[in-house]
């Protein structure tokens, strides 16, 4: 496995620190019959540890060379490999008999944000997610209103999931070492969102519009969606910027959008 040259276009940074691997898998607190899916198994560091805890593991990998190596290292009755792009993969097709999936992975940092949005669309078949991400992204996921890290990703993730940062990981835990620090985060999809939203699609459009230009006010960013007068009626000052709004305030804007 060690002779595989990491491919920059796939954003490959292979985790090799066994202590970190152990901490990640321990944090997942697996049951033997859990339906686990690893995203981007790479050279198999997490895979090997996971297979000491579960009877069977599914994994989604894009790199065909790595798939060939993984197939030679692990028996097919224990590891089912799905060759494909995680950004387009239908994870719910793996779920069967009502079992929800437990996702884990050292995600490629160059696709982590769009991949998280893709997974949110399939949250109905997911029990939880435990991911290694760029530390900066994890700070955005869990950011509170008012800070520079709080943005569209924060709002959309916190609308759908409980977010818990677990621990940081230094660049030296990877081959090659990335130029940034990493963090491990747990995301647990809500059975019901923490705020009442009439139309999730409209909520998504409202949040996107509100953050369209961070330096502009709600009045400017939301032209055509909601009038300043309507915002005032909701108790929201139209001269505020999106990064100051709470999840509940975004829900209020979304529910009122289109009713100027």
Asked if residue 2 is part of any domain, the answer here is no
What is d(CA 88, CA 128) in angstroms, rounded to the nearest whole number? 19
**Total of domains in the chain:** 2
Nearest to 32 by CA among 131, 81, 102: 102
Q: Are residues 165 and 64 in the same domain?
A: yes
DSSP bridge partners of 101: 35, 126
Q: Are residues 233 and 134 in the same domain?
A: no
Q: What is the distance in angstroms between the CA of the first residue and the CA of the last residue of the chain?
A: 60
Q: Using pLDDT thresholds of 50, 70 and 90, give the confidence band for residue 256.
A: very high
pTM: 0.91
Cβ neighbours for 106, distance < 8 A, ≥ 6 positions apart: 13, 14, 15, 40, 42, 46, 131, 132
What is d(CA 215, CA 112) in angstroms, rounded to the nearest whole number? 25
Quick: pLDDT tens for 118-130. 999 999 999 999 9
Q: Are residues 60 and 175 in the same domain?
A: yes
For range 218-231, the mean pLDDT: 94
Quick: pLDDT tens for 173-183. 998 888 899 99
Q: Are residues 151 and 237 in the same domain?
A: no
Q: Are residues 147 and 251 in the same domain?
A: no
Residue range of the domain that includes 224: 200-256
Radius of gyration, alpha carbons of the chain? 20
Q: Are residues 174 and 208 in the same domain?
A: no
Q: Using pLDDT thresholds of 50, 70 and 90, give the confidence band for residue 99.
A: confident
Is 80 exceeded by the pLDDT of residue 10?
A: no
Asked if residue 114 is part of any domain, the answer here is yes
Domain boundary among 161, 189, 217: 189
Nearest to 211 by CA among 239, 183, 187, 243: 243
Is 70 exceeded by the pLDDT of residue 4?
A: no
pLDDT score at 96:
76
């Amino acid at each position: 496995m060690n002779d595989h040259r990491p491919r920059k276009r796939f954003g490959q940074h292979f985790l090799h620190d066994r202590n970190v691997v152990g901490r990640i898998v321990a944090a997942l607190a697996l049951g033997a019959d859990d339906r686990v899916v690893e995203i981007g198994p790479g050279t198999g560091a997490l895979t090997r540890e996971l297979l000491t805890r579960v009877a069977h593991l599914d994994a989604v990998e894009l790199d065909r060379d790595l798939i060939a190596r993984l197939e030679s290292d692990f028996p097919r009755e224990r590891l089912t490999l799905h060759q494909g792009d995680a950004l387009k993969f239908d994870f719910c097709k793996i779920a069967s008999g009502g079992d929800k999936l437990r996702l884990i992975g050292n995600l490629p940092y160059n696709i982590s944000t769009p991949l998280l949005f893709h997974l949110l669309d399939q949250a109905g078949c997911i029990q939880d997610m435990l991911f290694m991400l760029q530390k900066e992204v994890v700070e955005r996921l869990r950011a509170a209103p008012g800070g520079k890290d709080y943005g569209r990703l924060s709002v959309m993730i916190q609308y759908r999931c409980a977010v818990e940062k677990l621990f940081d990981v230094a660049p030296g835990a990877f081959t090659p070492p990335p130029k940034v620090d990493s963090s491990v985060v747990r995301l647990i999809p809500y059975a019901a969102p923490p705020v009442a939203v009439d139309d999730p699609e409209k909520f998504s459009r409202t949040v996107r519009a509100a953050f369209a230009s961070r330096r502009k006010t709600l009045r400017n960013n939301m032209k055509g969606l909601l009038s300043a007068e309507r915002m005032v009626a909701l108790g929201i000052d139209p001269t505020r910027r999106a990064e100051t709004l709470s999840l509940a305030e975004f829900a209020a804007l979304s529910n009122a959008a289109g009713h100027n």
